[in-house]
Amino acid sequence: MQHAIGRMKQLNGETLGQLQYRACIRQLQEALFAVVLAHARCANAAKGNVVVKGMPTPVIDGHTTIGKDNIFFPFAAIGQLTQDLKYKNEPTYLIIGDRNTFRENCTIHRSTQPDTPTTIGDDNLFLCYSHVAHDCVIGNHCIFSNNAALAGHVEVEDHVIVSGLSGVHQFCRVGAHSIIGGFTKVVKDVPPFTIADGNPAVIRGVNQIGLQRRGFANEDVSFLRRAYKRVFLKKERNLSEVIAELKEADCATNEHVQHLISFIEASERGITR
């Protein structure tokens, strides 16, 4: 009996020690969290709006504005100084929207110029080691897989997936509802609603599965497939002539086809075909 009582005391002592250890870790997290917030300007600087997952905490630096309910995992580097050699020590900015998740070791850099802040929209997911360089503009509901990297001044529209170990050249644009395959090298604009893959990237088809998952009507997908055949299956044809013909086609009345046409016409680097 005495042995059993002694054993219970020992167990209780171990449990108490564990509780004390956890309490110490929580206090340390609170202190580090205060340091994190001190380096960032939050839309609502409350713990419920900036969630830090695990130890050690991420680093949030510079003129960084953070919206609501963003989650930061260990070693994420947010708002760090641009790597652009043209940077002249001006105050530059990073603006982050709501409900984004930044996993371990991802890096999001501030802009090079004060008037072109790096901008992250809402509901995006940045997986481990993904990178967003200076002056990029990211839309909403995008996924950047492990080691996906954007060079400077890249624009990404909504509902884009950039797969692992893919890179996007500076000043490129990536259209809405497109997907970039793994290990892909993007050097020209990726049109919306498409699948880009390869080194260098080529357009493989319409992102039909992705569009269906996001609730696109069958008629919309059909119109986009008809537009795709005109623009991308005969790559030797002059693009301006193809677009002119597409504008006269029946499918050109569809709003998504119109977005595709507008995106192509606005391209400065040329489009991936």
Strand order in the sheet with 155-156: 41-42, 63-66, 93-96, 118-120, 137-138, 155-156, 173-174
Chain CA centroid to CA 176, Å: 13
DSSP at 110:
P
Q: Tell me, yes or no, if 134 is annotated catalytic.
A: yes
Q: Which of 159, 132, 245, 180 is nearest to 189 (CA)?
A: 180
Catalytic, out of 62, 84, 97, 134:
134
Catalytic, out of 79, 152, 175, 210:
152
Q: Which long-range contacts (CB under 8 A, 24 or more apart) does 208-211 make?
A: 210/159, 210/161, 210/177, 210/179, 211/177
Catalytic, out of 62, 97, 109, 135:
135
Angle at the Cα of 107 from the Cα atoms of 47 and 58, rounded to 5 degrees: 35
Q: Which two tokens stand for residue 136?
A: 């990029």
DSSP at 57:
P
Q: Tell me, yes or no, if 135 is annotated catalytic.
A: yes
**Amino acid, res. 154:** V
Sign of the CA dihedral with 154 first, then 157, 158, and 163 last? negative
Q: Which two tokens stand for residue 165?
A: 């170990």
Q: Tell me, yes or no, if 152 is annotated catalytic.
A: yes
Cα torsion 86, 89, 95, 99 to 10°: value is: 90
SS3 71: strand
Q: Which two tokens stand for residue 95?
A: 């603006």
Which residues are part of the catalytic machinery? 134-135, 152
